[in-house]
Amino acid sequence: MVNRRLPPLRSLEAFMHTVRLGSARAAANQLGLSPSALSRRIATLEEFIGKKLFTRARQAMQLTDEGAAFHEAVLPHFEALARAVEGQSESTSLLRLHLGVLPLFGTQRLFPRLAELRRLHPILHIDIDTGPHLEDRVGDTLDAAIILSNRPSAGLHAVRLDENKVHAITNAELAETVDTSDEWIVERTGIRARHIAGEGETTATLATDAARAALEVAGLAAQDIDLIILATATPDQTFPAAATKVQAALGIDDCVAFDVAAVCSGFLYAVTVADSMIRSGAANRALVIGSETFSRILDWEDRTTCVLFGDGAGAIVLGAEESGATDPATARGILASKLHADGRHNQLLYVDGGPSTTQTVGKLRMKGQEVFRHAVVNLAAVLTEVMGIAGLSATDIDWLVPHQANARILDATARKLKLPAERVIMTVDRHANTSAASVPLALDTAVKDGRIKQGDLVMFEAMGGGFTWGASLARM
């Protein structure tokens, strides 16, 4: 996590990576430093950031060991710290704020502020760590609090912030174990960080968190759902479907639940299937989830692929709604969709294992240049198809929310459609390629930051292994 361009940041990164805001003594112990050595390290930060700013932050850290005096006043200082670092650095280093006193301060007020900090400053990574001595006191509130800390709007849930569950890895951190560099990755892909699921987290657990958050935002109970479609290429088990594990975790006794395996296009396949089932009367309300743990199928010695992917989950709720509007200019919901597949290109993007062939899980393999060429052509074509079905043109589209595979693919597709770059939602820099979770995570970002609003016309597109690809047009 070292920023090699700015030597003063070395102390900053080392300090913020490990310090817990609980007391100066606890911080020193955590770092294995004496109090005097810690003071010297803080002094180094003062030189870089400015005495006035960090003096306030240091004062805010003078708390009791129990953390009972943890004040929300810490957050403005930490935000100022983030601004200072972002202003000095061209790269995306992460500042880690460790909170070791979760049950001892007002979570209902704090976590929305943490979520806002994360939205405004992607450089921040917020860890929640209660410690074993507090687990009984936290109980079930821990997961709820973590969800609140990064709860997306519009029924979507992004990756969780608990370091033991899903945590961010920057290019610089990856370069410590893989023969690569931040410059090499950014130049070729636009990716600066990705999130990796921790021990105990699975595709189904991430999906369940996403589903719960989606239901909460939609104002619905789990029993209101009669259809769950989970798009994933990395299920917990060969069978049964991971969607049934989500169903059980939500406490739904009976509903339709199944997985869709269309890799990066999976979420759009799932949306289209759910839309069709609702329109036919086979379902009334559907949870549509994209969830992946691609880190478990990567070859971490292959720098051409392992740097590209990350883990995450997102979910939306689709429901039947009476509407007399038929004109695409005024109608809401899913307006048009188109899906494609071409199995002749299996060997360009695939996993080299399976229960029926190798009896192993296998690792991801990809011929990047060939995939790039097909993606640009196929995505531009299917977007044009969907606009034709809806009787609209590119100028009518408010936002394009594409699959976040590669910044160059996104740029090339937008150019083909003559869409201005500012109307394309791009989050590949912070999420990397999360396969079926990619589109809902990008939507989540744009809804939370206020770009996508109710009434906007939004186009979604994706292409994945198979090849499979598709697009959907919706009015929010």
Catalytic residue among 150, 171, 378, 433: 433
User: What is the H or E stretch that residue 433 is in?
Assistant: none
| CA 202 vs CA 194, 246, 313, 455: distances in Å | 16, 11, 10, 35
Tokens encoding 391: 């009787």
Backbone phi and psi for residue 154, each to the nearest 5 degrees, phi listed first: 55, 40
Catalytic residue among 125, 157, 403, 431: 403
Residues 157, 229: Cα–Cα separation, whole Å: 16
Helices and strands (H and E) in the chain: how many? 18, 14
Active site residue 433: yes
Interior CA angle at 264 toward 166 and 294, to 5°? 35
Tokens encoding 292: 């992946």
Report the 10 Å Cβ neighbour count for 321.
8
Which residue type sits at 393?
S
Residues 95, 1: Cα–Cα separation, whole Å: 9
Crossing angle of helices 141-149 and 203-218, in 10° steps, is 70
Residue whose pair of structure tokens reads 């209902």 in the numeric block: 108
Catalytic residue among 171, 264, 406, 431: 264
Strand ranges inside 131-218, DSSP E = 166-170, 193-197
Active site residue 264: yes
Interior CA angle at 197 toward 193 and 201, to 5°? 165
Tokens encoding 60: 């805010």
**What residues are labeled active site?**
264, 403, 433
